Amino acid sequence: MILKRNRLGIAVALAAVLALASCSQDELADGGNMLPDGQYPLEIASATLTVEGSEQPWTKVGENVDGTGSEFREGDAIRVSLNDKTATYTYDGSAWTSDTPLYWQSTQQATVNAWYPANGSVSLANQSSSLAYVLKGSGDGSYQSGVNLTFTHQLAKVRVVLTGDKASDVTQVEIYSYTTCTHSQGTISTDGASQDWITMHQADYNGTKYWEANVVPGTITPDKFIRLNGSSVATVSGITDLAAGSMYTVNLNVEAADPGYTIDADGTYQVYTAEGLQAWAAAMQGSEDPNLNCTLTADITLTGTNNWTPVGNYNYPYSGTFDGAGHTISGMNISSSSAQGFIARLSGTVKNLTITNALVSGANNIGGIVGQAAQGSKIIGCAFSGTVKGTTGVGGIVGDANGCNVTACWSTAEATASMPMLGCIAGSSMQSTYTACYWENTTTTAGIGEDTDAGVIHVGDNNVTWITAMNAMNNALESVNKDYRWTVNDNSDKDEVPLVLVPVDEN
């Protein structure tokens, strides 16, 4: 993105021609420099805003039609000070007048000060209808001539230009800054004020659409500065500070966000980001037949707490095929009272998936890969490393298996339960088949909490090593999964993840 920084201003002539009568020595009070009270009113000949740059100067209460300047408009009011007295002057479209005008008290030249707005409080929060301004001005004059007031801007202007395929989809642009400020005779203070998102004004100058707002000068946070449609925060570069009286143009290219997945002709999701994985799961929430197939094409990291909504439920189990394709999901965190796991209830297939650094907690039927596995479901070539905990039916791979086939899976889960039916592979099991499944941990004493341990072997018993486990699991995969094989993990996490799944041509 490109940012332009201009010094700004504009001259707004009021074309007030004054005809002031001179006074004779006899009219001077006390024969000196003092003038009689109430006889020589202050006349404002013009109000000028200093031009501080050549491109699109800006100011006051309304931008002109092409955005190259601004102008005082009828009804605008400024506060004016002369000889320690103040009064409000209002612009009627051609001149500045006051119901309680100020008067010259001396024949000597004096400085007249002015500021806008006339009161001291300024709301900056919502500029969608009109921009906010703070101006500070002064001018020298005397009782014999009108005073030309020169104003300077006390706020900075930010103008956003959107381009790209999705620019037309943006209906709101916001900027992060102080939502209120006060001023004393034009000098800004943010004491007691707070920062939040400010709604910007949309304008169209010469066919180009802009979003703009006037904000308090100062240091900005580049990665929390511009927000689109109330959610998408854009990071800007090349700008750290805003100066009073300057304009900054921010060009943003708005393109469609990468969804993190593609969908094949047969409806299979090809997922490569956490957002894509969440989108696959969300597409089935509330469905009476959650069956969308999914294949991972990259490792996925989930962040935060309660960051995964399990797929399927007791009434409507997941009946599709989830293929991890040898990839890993790390950081999964689930906490709920119902059956929980990456898949809450399964009647289909989960294969070639490793889940690490995970926490799954709840009440009954808590599993790292599957909470409940129904009749005919399959779990093939899967692994779990992390924590599973609940009341009963707690297992590293599956919490409750009923007629499920589990093949070539391993677990190093730290599994705990307050009641029986706790196992590092399966918590409770009925009429299920386990082939070449291995486990190792320090919190459980069984591979299966209920039912026999047939087909489930503890690494460390009878000289069984992870090499032994790898060879046995790969032999089992020959008949059900010819594409992937387990191999030894040589990375730093090998104690928690002793084996990794790789495609056959990499083994």
CB 48 within 8 A of CB 150: yes
Tokens of 108: 């000597």
pLDDT of residue 455: 83
Q: What share of the chain is helix, strand, coil (3-state, %, to 5)?
A: 5, 45, 50
Q: pLDDT class for 59, splitting at 50, 70, 90? A: very low
pLDDT single digits (tens) 77-133? 999 999 999 999 999 999 999 999 999 999 999 999 999 999 999 999 999 999 999
CA neighbor of 114 nearest in space, from 135, 95, 132 = 135
CA neighbor of 134 nearest in space, from 84, 75, 90, 79 = 79
Q: Measured in whole angstroms, how far is the alpha carbon of residue 141 from the centre of its chain? A: 53
Which of 28-32, 72-76, 152-156, 207-211 is least confident?
Answer: 28-32
| % of residues, the chain, pLDDT over 90 | 76
Which residues have a Cβ under 8 Å from the Cβ of 314 and sit 6 or more positions away?
Answer: 338, 339, 345, 372
Is the pLDDT at 378 greater than 90, yes or no?
yes
| More reliable by pLDDT, 31 or 45 | 45
pLDDT single digits (tens) 215-254? 999 999 999 999 999 998 999 988 999 999 999 999 999 9
Q: Classify strands 414-417 and 383-390 as parallel, antiparallel or unpaired.
A: parallel
pLDDT of residue 501: 96
Is the pLDDT at 68 greater than 70, yes or no?
no
Q: pLDDT class for 495, splitting at 50, 70, 90? A: confident
Q: Which residues pair with 176 in a beta bridge?
A: 197
Tokens of 116: 């806008």
Average pLDDT over residues 172-189: 97
B/e letters for 110-145, b = 16+ CB within 10 Å, e = fewer, are bebbbbbbbeeebebeebbeebbbbbbbbbebebee
pLDDT of residue 20: 35
Angle 457-462-468 from CA coordinates, rounded to 5°: 60
| % of residues, the chain, pLDDT over 70 | 89
pLDDT of residue 15: 30
Which residues have a Cβ under 8 Å from the Cβ of 268 and sit 6 or more positions away?
Answer: 292, 293, 294, 295
pLDDT single digits (tens) 280-314? 999 999 899 999 999 999 999 999 888 999 999 98
CB 248 within 8 A of CB 233: no
pLDDT single digits (tens) 422-435? 999 999 999 999 99
pLDDT single digits (tens) 326-371? 999 999 999 887 779 999 999 999 999 999 999 999 999 999 999 9
pLDDT single digits (tens) 404-419? 999 999 999 999 998 8
Characterise 432 by phi-psi region: left (phi > 0), alpha (psi -120 to 50), beta (else): beta
Residue type, 79: R
pLDDT of residue 43: 96
Q: pLDDT class for 52, splitting at 50, 70, 90? A: very low
Tokens of 415: 């599994």
Q: State how far the Cα of 134 lies from the Cα of 117, in Å rounded to an integer.
A: 6
Element (H, E) at 110: strand 110-116
pLDDT of residue 224: 95
Q: State how far the Cα of 318 lies from the Cα of 142, in Å rounded to an integer.
A: 87
Residue type, 53: G
Locus of tokens 């009219």 = 27
CB 487 within 8 A of CB 477: no
CA neighbor of 311 nearest in space, from 327, 292, 328 = 292
Q: Quick one: three-class SS letters along 16-68?
A: CCCCCCCCCHHHCECCCCECCCCCCECCEEEEEECCCCCCCCCCCCEECCCCC
Residues in the chain: 507
Is the pLDDT at 60 greater than 60, yes or no?
no
Q: State how far the Cα of 51 lies from the Cα of 66, in Å rounded to an integer.
A: 17
Distances from the Cα of 327 to the Cαs of 230, 359, 395, 466, in angstroms?
A: 34, 18, 21, 20
Average pLDDT over residues 153-170: 94
Q: pLDDT class for 454, splitting at 50, 70, 90? A: confident
Is the pLDDT at 184 greater than 80, yes or no?
yes
Q: State how far the Cα of 355 lies from the Cα of 41, in Å rounded to an integer.
A: 83
Please give the mean pLDDT across all residues of the chain.
88
